[in-house]
Amino acid sequence: MAWWKGWREEESRFVTGALSFDPKPDAQTLYKAMKGLGELTSLITIQLKGRLAGYLNLNLGLQAIIDVLTKRSNIQRQQIAKSFKAQFGKDLIESLKSELSGKFERLIVALMYPPFKYDAKELHDAMKVSSACVTSLVTVHVKLQALYAAGEKIRGTDEIQFITILCTRSATHLLKVKCTRNIHCYFAERLYYALKGAGTHDGTLIRVIVSRNEVDLNLIKAEFKKIAGQSLSSSILDDTSGDYKTALLNLCGSDD
Q: Is 158 annotated as contributing to ligand binding?
A: no
Q: Are residues 96 and 154 in the same domain?
A: no
Q: Quick check: is 111 in a domain? A: no
Among 76-90, 143-157, 205-219, the range scoring the smallest mean pLDDT is 143-157
Q: Are residues 69 and 42 in the same domain?
A: yes
Residue 137: domain span = 116-252
How does pLDDT run across 136-145, given as a tens digit for each residue?
Answer: 555 556 556 6
Q: Is 151 annotated as contributing to ligand binding?
A: no
SS3 230: coil
pLDDT in the model for residue 189:
92
Q: Are residues 160 and 35 in the same domain?
A: no
Q: Quick check: is 59 in a domain? A: yes
Report the CATH number at residue 176: 1.10.220.10
pTM: 0.74
pLDDT in the model for residue 44:
46
Q: Which residue has the higher pLDDT, 247 or 198?
A: 247
Residue 100 is given by DSSP the state: -
Burial class (CB in 10 A: 0-12, 13-18, 19+), 234: middle
Q: Quick check: is 1 in a domain? A: no
Quote the number of domains for the chain.
2
Q: Are residues 130 and 241 in the same domain?
A: yes
Report the CATH number at residue 94: 1.10.220
How far is the C-alpha of 207 from the C-alpha of 59, rounded, in Å? Answer: 25
Q: Is 38 annotated as contributing to ligand binding?
A: no
Q: Are residues 28 and 138 in the same domain?
A: no
Determine the Cα angle at 17 with ends 14 and 20, to 5°. 145
Q: Quick check: is 85 in a domain? A: yes
Task: Answer whether residue 9 shows pLDDT above 80.
Answer: no
What contacts 59, CB < 8 A, 6 or more positions away? none
